[in-house]
Amino acid sequence: MTPVLEVDPVGPSAPSPLEPRGSSRGLRIWFLEHLDLLLSERQRGAVASELIRYRVLAGSAAFLLLFDLLVLVLLPGPLTRFVLVLLALGYLGTLLLVRRASSPTGPAMLLCGCVFLALVVVTLTLKGLQFMGMYSAHTLLPVLAVYLMGPRLGLLFTLVLIGTQSVFHPLYQVSQHLELTPYFWPLYAISGICIFAAWGLSSLHEASRDAAQALLERTLKILSESESRLQSLIESTDDQVCSLDREGHVLTANMAMRQAHLQRTGSELMLGQSLFSPMPPRLKELWEAHFAPVLVGQRSRFEETEERAGVRATLDICVNPIQGEGGRVTGMTIFARDITPRKEAEARLGEMHRTLVDVSRQAGMAEVATGVLHNVGNTLNSINVSANLVLDKLHKSRVPGLARSVELLREHASELGTFLTIDPQGQKLPVYLTALSEQLHKEREELLQEMRTLGKSIEHIKSIISMQQRHARGTGAAEPTRVPQLIDEALRLHSVSLERMGIRIERDYADVPPIVVDRHKLLQILVNLLSNAQHALLESGRQDKCLGIHVRTKEGGTRFLLEVSDNGVGIAPENLARMFTQGFTTKKTGHGFGLHISALAAKEMGGQLTCASPGLQQGTTFTLELPTAAPTPPT
């Protein structure tokens, strides 16, 4: 589990960031630091509510001790001084007992007893009703007792105080034959009621605070459990996962990320450190460029190649913003997946394709057979990606959860009603099955969509093979075709790679009627043009990769135009005339057959394929022009 940073919320060394700065705050911190000197180290490390109780107890005892000593100096009389010395010893004993006590109850009883004695002595010393205002001080004892010892022990002190002040003291006044007013007994009764009301209000406050504290503890427990479940989920994946603040400091990181960081830098990944500090400047600038859109709320996805112990590895990295209140970006999450096996499989597939092309060339295969291999290879890439996605979704399927739920129901079949209504585990089962049903339905829709894409790719391969079996330049069957739908089908064959590269698709489809054309030949041309544009955008290194597709008609609707444009590497002027020549290519890993075969296919359908580019790094536009009706086959 990832370690969690803990902060003392009540200690004077950890002020709130919202707390105003200034001399008043400094005085408060100074006061708390000196007040904590009266407590033991264990008490200073107690939870917030208990620490505050100890502070109030020690602070009250210290204040009363100082006040008692001041009165002892000012007031004469041996009896008075005896009582004051006795109280001072009680307050001092409270301070000594607080430091050694494991609970505030004992010192609190001693302190409240001293306060009670002081109130009784003061009351008995006063004469007449002109001092009834002193009774307001009596309400402090119930408040202090309830706060320090709880409502029950506080009630004991309150009742004794009421009996002393509202019963014993007026009887004492009567025994002294003092002149009494008509309101003598009602005023003493009101005094007793006020003292009891002080206890009641304090008890209500304590009950409310305890309820709020219990609610807070339950909430914190729920949050802690949720955090533990989330952390377990993050730790269960082999992907590298971490979260950062806006400055790139690590907030959380799973074991896979920590191990990768250890292999990459030779040092442990610590919480709070910068993730990019051990990186060389060039690599740090590259990461900062990837993070720039994330800090403004956009998602970033890219691939990064690195070396670990002399072995090159390719990571598919996805960076998502963490948005706080008001949509403000407060940090980011990084998910890095090792796609080296997939890259190696793609490389092996590419090598296999090149081997097939070389063999076909050496054996003197016809130009059409070479085109078949090329187009099958392009479609196999899409099939491979779709198959990997289906396999990955099946591995992550929640079907085992359904089996566990059925097993749980089977175990409690004899008491199913009781299990679902009373047992805590059974009460969660309907909610879990509902969520599981929704997840399985979503998985089913996603798998069906991938299988539809896979089926269309296989259908395309079958049509290519069928045309090859009819030999060389035999034309396929012309049929009415809705070109926008066919374009979307070709885009789906490249959807995974386009999304991974972050390519933005711009569609501009005019309202064109269906055209009569060999559907599979047109699909071959579209797949080749999209693949060519994808490679041009990948090699450009641009952040704003854009692929545009425009459809319109001309010459009164008899001719159909389809433009595929990109803002990629572009084409040098001296290479424009050679773009459709067999064997010519500007790609490092290309073989120069795709555009050549596409131009021949367009010519066979009675149209033409052209290319235009302003120059290097200025993008390219391929234009396919076809008749809207099928051309007349040659006799």
CATH number of the CATH domain containing 331: 3.30.450.20
- Residues written for the chain: 635
* Model confidence pLDDT, tens digit, residues 369-384: 554 566 677 677 777 7
Q: Which of 73-87, 340-354, 420-434, 611-625 has the highest mean pLDDT?
A: 611-625
Determine contact, residues 288/332, Cβ cutoff 8 Å.
no
The tokens 């007893």 sit on which residue? 113
Q: Which residues in 22-49 are b (16+ Cβ under 10 Å) and which e? A: eeeeeeeeeeeeebbebbeeebeebeee
Question: Domain span at residue 617?
Answer: 478-627
Quote the tokens at residue 247. 């400055």
Query: What is the predicted pLDDT for the residue at 548?
Result: 92
Determine contact, residues 625/608, Cβ cutoff 8 Å.
yes
Same domain, 118 and 255: no
Q: Comparing C-alpha atoms, which of 547, 528, 492, 493 is closest to residue 601?
A: 528
Same domain, 360 and 314: no
Quote the number of domains for the chain.
Answer: 4
Residue 224 lies in a domain: no
What whole-number distance in Å separates Cα of residue 595 and Cα of residue 532? Answer: 8
DSSP 120: H
Q: Reduced to 3 DSSP states, what percent helix, strand and coil does the chain have, rounded to the nearest 5?
A: 60, 15, 25
* Model confidence pLDDT, tens digit, residues 237-274: 888 899 888 888 888 888 888 888 888 777 888 888 88
Same domain, 562 and 427: no
Residue 500 lies in a domain: yes
What whole-number distance in Å separates Cα of residue 510 and Cα of residue 551? Answer: 6
Same domain, 125 and 261: no
E strand residue ranges, 464-503: 478-481
DSSP 339: -
| Sign of the torsion formed by the C-alpha atoms of 489, 490, 493 and 498 | negative
Q: Comparing C-alpha atoms, which of 499, 592, 503 is closest to residue 542?
A: 503
Q: Which residue has the higher pLDDT, 279 or 337?
A: 337
Same domain, 498 and 617: yes
Residue 546 lies in a domain: yes
The tokens 């589990």 sit on which residue? 1
Q: What is the pTM of this model?
A: 0.37
Residue 375 lies in a domain: yes
Residue 255 lies in a domain: yes
Same domain, 246 and 187: no
- Count the Cβ atoms, other than its own, within 10 Å of residue 389: 17
Q: What is the dihedral of CA 154, 159, 161, 162, to 10 degrees?
A: 140
Same domain, 70 and 202: yes
Same domain, 119 and 42: yes
What whole-number distance in Å separates Cα of residue 579 and Cα of residue 623? Answer: 13
Determine contact, residues 199/155, Cβ cutoff 8 Å.
yes
Q: Give the lowest-confidence range in 253-267, 454-468, 612-626.
A: 454-468
Same domain, 61 and 202: yes
Residue 262 lies in a domain: yes
Residue 284 lies in a domain: yes
Same domain, 126 and 269: no
* Model confidence pLDDT, tens digit, residues 120-137: 777 766 654 444 455 667
Same domain, 510 and 556: yes
Query: What is the predicted pLDDT for the residue at 20?
Result: 43
Same domain, 251 and 186: no
Q: Comparing C-alpha atoms, which of 532, 524, 514, 530 is closest to residue 587?
A: 532
